[in-house]
Amino acid sequence: MRKVVQSESKATSLYWQSSGEGEDLVLLHGWGMNGAVWHQAVEELSQNYRVHVVDLPGFGHSHQHHFDTVEHMAELVLEHAPEKATWLGWSLGGLLATHIALHHPERVKKLITVASSPKFSAERPWRGIQPNVLSEFTDQLVEDFQLTIERFMALQAMGSPSARQDVKTLKKAVLSRPTPNPKSLLSGLNLLAELDYRDALTHISMPTLRLYGRLDGLVPAKVASDVDKLMPSSESYMFGASSHAPFMTEFSEFCQQVSRFITDK
């Protein structure tokens, strides 16, 4: 059995945890969450890779930090990230990984996005989250952000055959670390509402794998075929029984897809 080397760093920078040995793999969580959502994935993937997990600014153990723009968030993350790695981003983390691949390609060996979209907000004929849903979340966030995050977790699992268990796991991960910073939660919602990387995707030069859940209500399955046209050189894979969190619902298949793609030359 491989030796798993673990380390963590807090200090004045963002909170990072690294474990395992081998090629570098960075995991980025989604909105309202923190790095604890990757606990199971880290245990498995760190058998073969050096896995780095960060709490994004404003979330988990990085709750004292804040970001205003995607550029600002990328700058904070890149400060202590490995020099060159495969970057895997879930949901909002996928947008951030895409931004880094576009603006700092020298840092990205391969790109993997999970249940993510170059544009989260729906705008006919583009499928996505209805703008009124995002603005409702923004309004509710000010009043009761605990309830808003719980609603978002329920939305992420909706449709999955293991929805109840998925929500329970997400909740446990979120509650295991400090509460998110409300300012960063708002900034994150603004990114989901405003960012549009559809035209920029043609400029991504590194090998790219896009993973989707067939039952996902936030990133509808149709997005996969739409992005196939925008990024014809990328690969996509659809998890048949998953909603927005395939790394939980179809864990083994998720790890297999990630490992296969990293190993492929």
- Which residues are known to be catalytic? 91, 216, 244
CA gap 216, 127 in Å, rounded: 11
Which residue type sits at 157? A
The CA distance from 44 to 52, in Å, is 13
Helix, strand and coil percent figures for the chain, each rounded to 5: 45, 15, 35
Q: Do β-strands 50-54 and 24-28 pair in parallel, antiparallel, or remain unpaired? A: parallel
**Residue carrying the six token digits 């990114």:** 191
Beta bridge partners, 8, equal 17
- Give, to the nearest 10 degrees, the angle between helix 70-78 and helix 92-103: 80
Integer Cα distance of 43 and 46 in angstroms: 6
